[in-house]
Amino acid sequence: MFSRFINFKTILAIIAIFIVTGSIFYSQYIAKKIAVDERRKIEQWAEAVKTSSDPTASVNNLASKILIENSIEIPIVLVTEKDELLDYRNLDTLKIKQDKNYIKNKIEVFKNLHQPIEWKNPLDSTQINRVYYGESKLLNEVRYYPIVQLVIVILFIAVLLMLLQINYKSTQNQVWAGLAKETAHQLGTPVSSLEGWLEMLKEVKGNEKIVPEMEKDINRLQLISDRFGKIGSTPHLEEKNIVAQVQMMMDYIKKRAGQNVNFSLVSSNENIAAHISPPLFDWVIENLLKNALDAMVGKGKISINIFEDANKIFIEIADTGKGINKANIDKVFKPGFTTKKRGWGLGLTLTRRIVEQYHKGIIYVKQSEVGKGTTFRIEIKK
């Protein structure tokens, strides 16, 4: 059971988590060491300032060296206990001139970062001086390095997953196309044979009632073969009247639906033209109408509404069936998903493929309520 969850993506995610986690811990360890070292430098600098400001003490070369070197990168503000400015290091001089509150704001920032270093003024024992200090560029770089690395890792994984998804879809499309074309090929031979037998039956007297019905079934098989043959190749689009095309398929399904199902078609215009592949577009409408019939279990109402705006044509097919649970609405177009006892769950998957890939449109569940029905909407360009 555990092995089902172990795949390439899982291993990739685990490796990425270990890399980022390890980097975060290590960078925090380094940052703490740098922070301790910087505080030591500031303490040495403060001691050197104290020594240099004491007229009774002799300033040696070490104190002078500390004053010069220990504050090269660390921003420092030296103030009295009343926050009166005495000195500063490594701050933006231009901003100090332009903004009167610049030093004050920096002191507030430094207060949140570190405890100030204090010492008594050698000239006045009642006066306490404080050194507020920030963080060097090196320390900030070490702190933010894991974040940068995390972003890079996330982008790397996202790009890799996107490429894997594209590859998966490409493979899936090839399988779909291959399966469809093989189905069309397998149907071709027996359909051709049936046509030959049909011609022979036409010459035999007494088959006048049988032959027309057989001819309808053979034509139906030819249509199915033609539909499957067009999957995987670019279909030829023709300008057709959408209203008439949908009406024809509704009449076809209506004859097979029974008397307990009412059909209605409303259109904003009798002639709405669009470029479609008639066999494939008929397949879309047929699948949606058959799904509606299955959802109503032989009793209810199917309403078709066709309308247009300046750029698009809208086809809405609504039924009064059992509806779709909200948790399943996003799954209805996925291969293999079905709530029926029989079926492969490929009808709506093929429907979406035909609408989106071959007609550059979209299809979605506009609304659905359990126990009241479902409305599918198709949108295609004019």
pLDDT tens digit sequence for 126-161: 678 888 888 777 777 777 777 777 788 778 878 877
* Residue 303 to residue 365: CA distance in whole angstroms: 15
Q: Are residues 129 and 246 in the same domain?
A: no
> Looking at 12-16, 45-49, 162-166, which range is the least confident one?
45-49
Total number of domains constituting the chain = 2
Residue 23: strand pairing partners: none
Confidence class of residue 15 from pLDDT cuts 50, 70 and 90?
Answer: confident
Confidence class of residue 212 from pLDDT cuts 50, 70 and 90?
Answer: confident
Q: Are residues 124 and 257 in the same domain?
A: no
Q: Which domain holds residue 83?
A: 2-135
Average pLDDT over residues 44-61: 60
Q: Which of 326, 350, 370, 8 is nearest to 173 (CA)?
A: 350
Average pLDDT over residues 210-218: 83
255 or 346, which is more confident?
A: 255
**pLDDT at residue 289 in the model:** 93
- Mean of all residue pLDDT scores within the chain: 79
**pLDDT at residue 300 in the model:** 92
Residue 339 belongs to a domain: yes
**pLDDT at residue 374 in the model:** 94
End-of-domain residue from the set 104, 119, 135: 135
**pLDDT at residue 67 in the model:** 53
Would you state the torsion angle of the CA atoms of residues 137, 143, 145, 147, taken in this order, to the nearest 10 degrees?
Answer: -130
* Residue 107 to residue 90: CA distance in whole angstroms: 13
176 or 42, which is more confident?
A: 42
State yes or no: pLDDT of 162 exceeds 80. Answer: yes
DSSP designation for 341: S
CB count within 10 Å of CB 352 equals 20
**pLDDT at residue 2 in the model:** 45
Q: Are residues 239 and 128 in the same domain?
A: no
End-of-domain residue from the set 118, 135, 152: 135
pTM given for the model: 0.52
Residue 149 belongs to a domain: no
- Starting at the edge strand found earlier in the chain, the sheet holding 300-308 runs 261-267, 300-308, 312-319, 373-381, 362-369
Residue 315: strand pairing partners: 306, 378
E strand segments, the chain: 76-80, 85-89, 117-121, 124-133, 238-241, 261-267, 273-276, 300-308, 312-319, 362-369, 373-381
Residue 207 belongs to a domain: no
Q: Are residues 129 and 240 in the same domain?
A: no
Q: Are residues 126 and 255 in the same domain?
A: no
Q: Compute the radius of gyration of the chain from its Cα atoms.
A: 39
Pairing of strands 300-308, 261-267: parallel
Confidence class of residue 202 from pLDDT cuts 50, 70 and 90?
Answer: confident
DSSP designation for 181: H
